[in-house]
Chain A
Amino acid sequence: MSAVLEVSGLKTHFFTHAGVVKAVDGVDFTVSKGEVMGLVGESGSGKSITGFSILGLIDQPGRIVEGSIKFNGDEIANAPEKKLKTLRGNRISMIFQDPMMTLNPVLRVDTQMIEAILAHEKVSKQTAWERSRDALGLVGIPSPEERLQAYPHQLSGGMRQRVAIATAFLNKPDLIIADEPTTALDVTIQAQIIHEAQKLTKQTGTAMIWITHDLAVVAGLAERISVMYAGRIVEQGGIDDVIDRPLHPYTVGLLGSVPTANRRGKRLFQIEGMTPNMLALPKGCAFGPRCHARSEACNQQPPVENIDRRSLRCFNPQPAAKVVK
């Protein structure tokens, strides 16, 4: 399997007045062609910043301070803006959390879709319009011609997110980064959107990074999963391995403490304790203050280890038996 994206040692920091926020602090992962990878973690753990780093969309006072991002074997971390522009929306697309905020309120849907094509290809407006219409049809929007003439506020939330998904697939990208695309939607719409997205990735062979704070969402969608905490990936592996036998105490917490044989479809549980203050992370393991399995060793930074078909950052992996109360 060839890798579409290889991220290694990625560090993206924000140099604020109050101090340095290490939003992404040494992240490694690979996404293969046609694969869906779930990137999971509580709010503020650095998921979005990881996604924006890939697209080179980190603004002041932040920047990528270290690491490599290889897209189809080509280094794109801190690449010139000109090069990144030819990738964005073309080879790598992004879908944002809130379609109300991301679609420009004063531009019609057709304008916003057609421009995405014309930015990368010299085709006639008519051709671009037809492609936009077909793309809307593909994501299950009825009477797409009419919808193209609408302003974003005239569409429902689910409809808007479908427009965003259709736009993401317009240029047949190799990779789509979907940043919590269903968080703002209610549960039934959420299921439909996930279904459409899954269908399209299968059809087109597009790889996808699906960012969410809800493990249940990626459980049925992703092949692999990366769990992120305070700027680092703490556990990464095949979806079945991680969901059925979580090793990191944080993953265990995310899954909830009930030992069911199959946890798929379970809602996220609130983990005890506060999400960490990114300006004052504890010494050693960042999860330490909230961790039940904490030991003396945890005052050191846990290294990445490869055990049980996954990579893990924890001194005290949780054997499956221990999950049972």
Chain B
Amino acid sequence: MSDVTSDTALAAAKSAKVETPFQRFRAEFFESKIATVALGVFLIIVLLAILAPWITPQNPYDLAQVSVMDGRLPPGSEAFDGYTMWLGSDGSGRDLYSAILYGLRISLTVGLASGVIALLIGMAIGLIAAYAGGRIEAFIMRIVDLQLSFPASLVALMMVAALGKGVDKIILALVIAQWAYYARTVRATALVERGKEYVEAAQCLGISRSRVVFRHILPNCMAPLIVVGTVQTASAISLEATLSFLGVGLPQTEPSIGVLIANGFEYMLSGRYWISVFPGVALLLTVVSINLVGDHLRDVLNPRLRK
């Protein structure tokens, strides 16, 4: 029993030393081993993707470097040009390791770009609703609710069906599918903040609405937006891969991870698992690591769970 007491006392003393909110946030974040590892994995993935041209044996989309004779080689085989294909090669002879790193560049770009754009647009719409209030707010929120009653994947699918293939079109489809989640998050914060007495008092004192929006709602919706943003970005990456896998996302000329997996699908039933599985593992690591970080961020940033 005394152990418990001294332990908790120690923990209390430790947390008492931490000073700024950011330092406390950092300390709390790294308290979780899983989240720390996940963040590490994600950063490594990003780094590998950025450095791809310098650390891969082949540019898989430079036709001069790809040889059909290298097609469907199992992991560990030696390529025609002499280097080892640690992850094997795909149907048209591309080194999978190289293809995956180049694919990650596309997948991450699409995911992050659509995540950031959707966040900005959703946040702006949410803030406009909060600023305008009254009927405009009710109207905007009705649209948000209506859109949220359809799954994002379906909205995105509909959009690509209408828009066609291409990086810009996929990003647009993902933004349209996801902005409402951010708007809803801002709205939730706005409701809480408005409920608080100090905002009421501020309004009574005749302080402007923009002050309420920018001084109270905006700073307070940042934390939940970051959490939603992480999770939605993971979901955007996953969604793009899904659409590309289905053949309605990115074209063969923009081979994201999803395209790679789709290309390998036809070989899977004949036992050449690696062509689909390795890109799949890369996708998995990316999405799961972002989600684990987001999940822990939610715990750390959620004031309700704070003691």
The reply, when asked whether chain A contacts chain B directly with Cβ atoms under 8 A, is yes
B208, CB-defined interface residue at 8 Å:
no
Q: In the docked arrangement, what's the CA distance between A143 and B169, Å?
A: 68
| Chain B positions 228 through 248: 1 when the CB is less than 8 Å from some CB of chain A, otherwise 0 | 000000000000000000000
Hey, what's the 0/1 contact readout for B1-29 against A, CB within 8 Å counting as 1? 10011001101100000000000000000
Which chain B residues lie closer than 8 Å to A119 at the CB level? none
Question: How far, in angstroms, from A53 to B138 measured CA to CA in the complex?
Answer: 50
Give A203-251 interface residues, CB cut-off 8 Å to B: none
Report the minimal beta-carbon distance from A12 to chain B, rounded to whole angstroms: 13
Task: Decide: A17 and B12 in contact? CB cutoff 8 A.
Answer: yes
Q: Are A20 and B11 in contact (CB under 8 A)?
A: no
Contacts of A15 in B (CB 8 A): 1, 4-5, 8
**A19 is an interface residue with CB less than 8 A from chain B:** yes
Size of chain A's interface in residues, with CB distance under 8 A? 7
Q: Which residues of B contact A16 (CB under 8 A)?
A: 8, 307
User: Within 8 Å CB of A20, what residues of B?
Assistant: 5, 8
The complex places the Cα of A190 from the Cα of B9 at a distance, in Å, of 43
Chain B proximity of A192: nearest CB distance (Å): 35
Hey, which chain B residues are within 8 Å of A100, CB to CB?
A: none
Q: Quick one: CB contact mask for A98-110 with B, threshold 8 Å, 1 for yes?
A: 0000000000000
Residues of the A chain whose Cβ atoms lie less than 8 Å from the Cβ of B1:
15, 65
Residues of B within 8 A of A17 (CB): 8, 11-12, 307
**Interchain Cβ contacts within 8 Å, total number:** 20
Interface presence of A274 (CB below 8 A): no
The residue in chain A whose Cβ has the minimal distance to the Cβ of B9 is A19
Bound complex: CA A16 to CA B307 (Å): 9
Q: Which residues of A contact B307 (CB under 8 A)?
A: 16-18
Residues of B within 8 A of A19 (CB): 5, 8-9, 12
Q: Which A-chain residue is minimally distant from B5 (CB atoms)?
A: A20
Main SS at interface, chain B: helix
Nearest chain A residue, comparing its CB with the CB of B11? A17
CA distance A22 to B109 in the complex (A): 55
List of A residues within 8 angstroms of B12 by Cβ: 17-19
Residues on A with beta carbons closer than 8 Å to the beta carbon of B9? 19
Minimum Cβ distance to chain B for residue A56 (Å): 19
Give the chain A neighbours of B8 by CB distance below 8 A: 15-20
* Residues of chain A in range 1-23 having any CB-CB distance to chain B below 8 Å: 15-20
B299 to chain A, nearest CB (A): 14
A291–B5 Cα distance when bound, in Å, is: 30
Instruction: Type the 1/0 row for A50-80, where 1 means its CB is closer than 8 Å to any CB of B.
Output: 0000000000000001000000000000000
State the CA gap A211–B5 with chains docked (Å): 30
A19, B10: Cα distance in complex, Å: 9
Cα-based distance from A258 to B90 in the complex (angstroms) = 93
Closest to A15 in B: B4
Q: Closest CB-CB distance, A13 to chain B, in whole Å?
A: 9
CA distance A19 to B4 in the complex (A): 9
Q: How far is the CB of A73 from chain B (nearest CB, A)?
A: 29
Which residues of B are found within 8 Å of A65, using beta-carbon distances? 1
CA distance A17 to B7 in the complex (A): 9
Q: How far is the CA of A24 from the CA of B8 in the complex (A)?
A: 20
A128 to chain B, nearest CB (A): 41
The smallest C-beta distance from A189 to any residue of chain B, in angstroms, reads 29
Q: Can you name the residue of chain A whose Cβ is closest to the Cβ of B307?
A: A17
Q: How far is the CA of A304 from the CA of B187 in the complex (A)?
A: 57
Cα–Cα, bound, A15→B1 (Å): 9
Give B34 Cβ to nearest chain A Cβ, in Å.
Answer: 20
Give CA–CA (A244, B152) in the complex, Å: 71
CA of A17 to CA of B4 in the docked complex: distance in angstroms?
10
Alpha-carbon distance A17/B8, docked complex (angstroms): 5
CB distance from A72 to the nearest CB of B (A): 30
B177-205 with Cβ < 8 A to chain A: none
Quote the shortest CB–CB distance from A61 to chain B (angstroms): 9
Alpha-carbon distance between A295 and B11 when the two chains are bound, in angstroms: 36
In the complex the two chains form, what is the Cα distance from A119 to B77 in whole Å? 71
Residue of B nearest to A20 (CB): B5
Within the complex, the shortest CB–CB distance from A15 to chain B, in Å, comes to 5
**Which residues of B have CB within 8 Å of A18?**
8, 12, 307
A270 CB, min distance to chain B CBs, angstroms? 21
Which B residues lie at the A interface, using CB under 8 A? Answer: 1, 4-5, 8-9, 11-12, 307
Would you give 11 A-B contacts (Cβ < 8 Å), ordered by A?
A: A15-B4, A15-B5, A15-B8, A16-B8, A17-B8, A17-B11, A17-B12, A17-B307, A18-B8, A19-B9, A19-B12
A16-B8, A17-B11 known; 18 new pairs, CB 8 Å cut-off, are A15-B1, A15-B4, A15-B5, A15-B8, A16-B307, A17-B8, A17-B12, A17-B307, A18-B8, A18-B12, A18-B307, A19-B5, A19-B8, A19-B9, A19-B12, A20-B5, A20-B8, A65-B1
The 8 closest A-B pairs by CB, nearest first: A15-B4, A17-B307, A20-B5, A18-B12, A17-B8, A19-B12, A19-B8, A18-B307
